[in-house]
Structure 1
Amino acid sequence: MSLTALPRIELHHHLEGAAPPALIRDMARARHVDISGIFGPDGGYFCRDFPQFLDIYEAATSVLQGPGDYARLTAAVLEQAAAQGVVYLETFLSPDFCGGRDLTAWREYLHAIEEAAAAAEAAHGITLRGIVTCIRHFGPDKARQTALCAAETAGPFIVGFGIAGNETAGHPRDFAWAFDMAREAGLGLTAHAGEWGGPQSVRDALSDLRVDRIGHGVRAIEDPALVEHLVETGIVLEICPGSNIALGLYPDWRSHPIERLRKAGVKLTVSTDDPPFFRTSMTREYDRLADAFGWDEDVFAQINRVALDAAFCDADTRAAIAKKLEPADV
């Protein structure tokens, strides 16, 4: 089996962050909104660092103004992901952007997203599940409202709760109430940490939020005791190498710590984060990892088994996806 034929599971993915630039431009043009400054000369998103990325992300998201727009977005994103061999995708969804954290509005957005996801599954064979995500730099009070939206819509489609945004804003313990509500609703828990906040941010997310997975988490490599703790507890890291390199966290692929973490025994997965913003795709991630570290089909198959075990979906969905990971000759 070649790398191109490998079915893939992706666990760290932002729906708005995967929006094709052409789609966002078309929506902006239709609404007479000028966001031309977020695009580079080649028509793609243009960002130099993480703060600018956050600004561009929110500017792009501002033209998504109703459930119908999110249905279009979901359809476009899933078609592209399926073309990259992704068979199961967990994406971050934020009621902050989908109805301003109003529960009734959130349900309308969610219905549109689910309908588009069902159509994409029928057409392309890709399964989508949602992780409701609060925005850290919006503050803990808004996170509580987001957690309520998550708890009230938890079920087969909404399977997790997380936190994203600026890691330097506030402290994980400020968001403990929101995570407790999500936990009580039976949702899987994840948190962005260990990217810009350093290894201590991973420790804080684990102790204060009691999450099941860590988004990114790569800075854990700077703390051997933390690496050992991750191995002992089986906490899974949702690693997005292309994103880390594009934003300057590491200078190149060979400098990225993903292989050192894997060899140390840390459970990890590979994802794209916000693929068009970082000029990446699942195919590119796989190709660059193979080039940098010699990863072969067996390594990637192991990565996807870890991802399947760590997925927040129900048992029936997990069993169905497991069959898609089996070699074609089995």
Structure 2
Amino acid sequence: MHESASGNGTRRDLRALPKAHLHLHFTGSMRPGTLLELADKYGVHLPEALKGGEPPSLRATDERGWFRFQRLYDIARSCLRAPEDIQRLVREAAEEDVRDGSRWLEIQVDPTSYAPRLGGLTPALEIILDAVESASRETGLGMRVVVAANRMKHPLDARTLARLAVRFKDRGIVGFGLSNDERRGFARDFDRAFTIAREGGLLAAPHGGELSGPQSVRDCLDDLRARRVGHGVRAAEDPWLLARLAEQGVTCEVCPASNVALGVYEKAEDVPLRTLWKAGVPMALGADDPLLFGSRLAAQYELVRDAHGFSDDELAELARQSVRGSEMPEAVRDGVLAEIDGWLAA
């Protein structure tokens, strides 16, 4: 074993560290090989950026870069056309998570994106939920769903989606999100949709603080009453906001590899993980879109260890924070927290 900053001088296997995964997008969870096979199956012409098995070169801090990222994502999504494609994607995402030590996955999806090919909005959501139930049963991974509205679409669409998510809550939907370019529109335009979701018992987990600065995180808290924030790293630019996140116990779903891939930060060392950590902001490391960013869950922990010098004790605490920030049943949560203690004691 290599030397490490951890107390006993060894580097523990981060794939064996039990953890929860709270920020994984549906199409973005696809294996590159699966995309190639599905594209061949349906005769979809893939651009070179999606053919090589390597993550494409991306930068989304300008309009053109974000458009390119979305275009690649949309092309990949167009390869999911039948229930068996959905089942395969979810099963493989679960297998990858299990391999990376995940005990619980809350996968995020906007079912309206799949509805045209799957018979409509409600059938699409039912197909997705069936696939999640099957994959959880087959792999042993606890799985739930966060239904996410698209902030590029009309807020009335988001309300329809929130009502549908509440209706299917008993089928494993635990949260309601808001994704896509946070520089567009205002969070407050979606406040009614989030009220419907919250009153229906769903966790509010919108994106904020990635492509836009601290104000977008404040908007998530003030207008949408977020209990988790997708990304949230730009909160590091505002000490008062950091204190508020810490005080309210709002978990930031931090995706360091994607932050670098999209040009939010130049290199891994620039992602302000230590700033959030020192401020006491709970974090849940996530892979975001492995298909486009090239790394899955355990690799995020490895990045934090290598680029930020987190010890095994600190990495175990990050894993605990991911578990505490999840919608796990209490008995499951207690069991996973005990497993983390066991990993550290080994």
Task: Bin the TM-score by the shorter chain.
Answer: over 0.9
Corresponding residue SS for 2:226: coil
2:132–2:144 Cα contact (<8 Å) kept: no
User: Out of 137, 148, 164, which is 2:152 matched to?
Assistant: 137
Structure 1 position 46 matched with structure 2 position 65 = no
Q: Give the Cα separation in 1 of the matches to 2:308 and 2:49.
A: 34
Structure 2 residue aligned with 1:191: 206
- The within-5 A match list for 1:84-123 is 84-99=100-115, 102-121=121-140
Aligned CA-pair RMSD:
1.9
Structure 2 gaps, min length 5? 1-10, 61-65
Q: Give the Cα separation in 1 of the matches to 2:253 and 2:227.
A: 11
Q: Identical aligned pairs, as a percentage?
A: 34
Q: Give the Cα separation in 2 of the matches to 1:37 and 1:262.
A: 39
Amino acid at match of 1:259: R
Structure 1 residue aligned with 2:26: 15
1:98–1:109 Cα contact (<8 Å) kept: no
Structure 1 position 235 matched with structure 2 position 250 = yes
Q: Give the Cα separation in 1 of the matches to 2:102 and 2:234.
A: 27
Corresponding residue SS for 2:174: strand
Amino acid at match of 2:201: G
Corresponding residue SS for 1:23: helix
Structure 2 residue aligned with 1:66: 82
Structure 1 position 35 matched with structure 2 position 46 = yes
Structure 1 residue 239: deviation in Å?
Answer: 0.5
Post-superposition CA distance 1:301-321 (Å, at most 9, x none): 111111111112333433343
Structure 1 residue 225: deviation in Å?
Answer: 1.4
Q: TM-score, normalised by structure 1?
A: 0.92
Q: TM-score, normalised by structure 2?
A: 0.88
Q: Give the Cα separation in 1 of the matches to 2:167 and 2:210.
A: 30
Q: Give the Cα separation in 2 of the matches to 1:317 and 1:225.
A: 34
Q: Give the Cα separation in 2 of the matches to 1:157 and 1:231.
A: 28
Amino acid at match of 1:115: S
1:137–1:165 Cα contact (<8 Å) kept: yes
- The within-5 A match list for 1:1-330 is 2-4=12-14, 5-39=16-50, 42-50=52-60, 51=66, 52-99=68-115, 102-121=121-140, 126-155=141-170, 157-327=172-342
Q: Give the Cα separation in 1 of the matches to 2:135 and 2:264.
A: 35
Q: Give the Cα separation in 2 of the matches to 1:106 and 1:201.
A: 29
Corresponding residue SS for 1:196: coil
Specify whether residues 156 and 48 from structure 1 end up closer, same or farther in structure 2 by C-alpha distance, changes over 3 A only. Answer: same
Structure 1 gaps, min length 5? none
Structure 1 residue 150: deviation in Å?
Answer: 0.6
Q: Give the Cα separation in 1 of the matches to 2:146 and 2:162.
A: 11
Specify whether residues 78 and 245 from structure 1 end up closer, same or farther in structure 2 by C-alpha distance, changes over 3 A only. Answer: same
Corresponding residue SS for 2:210: coil
Q: Give the Cα separation in 2 of the matches to 1:216 and 1:234.
A: 15
Structure 1 residue 98: deviation in Å?
Answer: 3.5
Structure 1 residue 93: deviation in Å?
Answer: 1.8
Specify whether residues 237 and 132 from structure 1 end up closer, same or farther in structure 2 by C-alpha distance, changes over 3 A only. Answer: same
1:156–1:314 Cα contact (<8 Å) kept: no
Structure 1 residue 156: deviation in Å?
Answer: 5.9
Amino acid at match of 2:138: A
Post-superposition CA distance 1:169-222 (Å, at most 9, x none): 211011111111111111111110000111100011110000101111111111
Corresponding residue SS for 1:96: helix
Specify whether residues 55 and 47 from structure 1 end up closer, same or farther in structure 2 by C-alpha distance, changes over 3 A only. Answer: farther
How many residues get paired? Answer: 325
Structure 1 residue 272: deviation in Å?
Answer: 1.0
